[in-house]
Amino acid sequence: MLSTKLRSCYFAISLLTISGTSIAQIDLSLYTSNYDKGEYQQVVNDLKLLTFDSFSPKHYELYVSSFSRIDLDDAEDAAERAITAYDDNAQMYLLHGRVMGQQASGSIFSALGYAKRALASFKKATNLEPTNTKYLNALMSFYLMAPSIAGGD
């Protein structure tokens, strides 16, 4: 009798896990769809309803990318949160580096600081995945486009 109850409990937990995964995937596809339509504020509003603890790297990617089209200061905060949550994920550092680069481009007084933070993130992404051309290209682009005072060459 006990083994039957244990099997039923295990089956119920398995169903919850499977359905939870499906729901998360559906939700993520809705966010992606809204992002693709250019509805960046809707993506941000919808993602704000979730807890940051439940964010996957893809959630952060959508969140940061949406904010980068709305408000760079909010994108900066979101990117900082992403690299804190996923400090071993090269994509999070790439996002962070891009936002810092955008901030540097739009700033006069803080440009140097933002550029140094962008460079650090691109280097970190490359260190995490040294053979991935996406991260190598981002780092090389920084070196080619940034002035030497900011770490470019």
94 within 8 A of 121, measured Cβ to Cβ: yes
Residue 14 to residue 131: CA distance in whole angstroms: 37
pLDDT digits (tens, 9 = 90+) for 53-96: 999 999 999 999 999 999 999 999 999 999 999 999 999 999 99
pLDDT at 152 (0 to 100): 83
Residue 149 to residue 138: CA distance in whole angstroms: 18
pTM of the model: 0.81
Residue 99 to residue 93: CA distance in whole angstroms: 10
pLDDT digits (tens, 9 = 90+) for 5-42: 433 333 333 333 333 443 444 468 899 999 999 999 99
- Dihedral angle over CA of 43, 44, 50, 53, nearest 10: 110
Residue 51 to residue 4: CA distance in whole angstroms: 36
Q: Residue 84, exposed/middle/buried by CB under 10 A (0-12, 13-18, 19+)?
A: exposed
Residue 4 to residue 32: CA distance in whole angstroms: 42
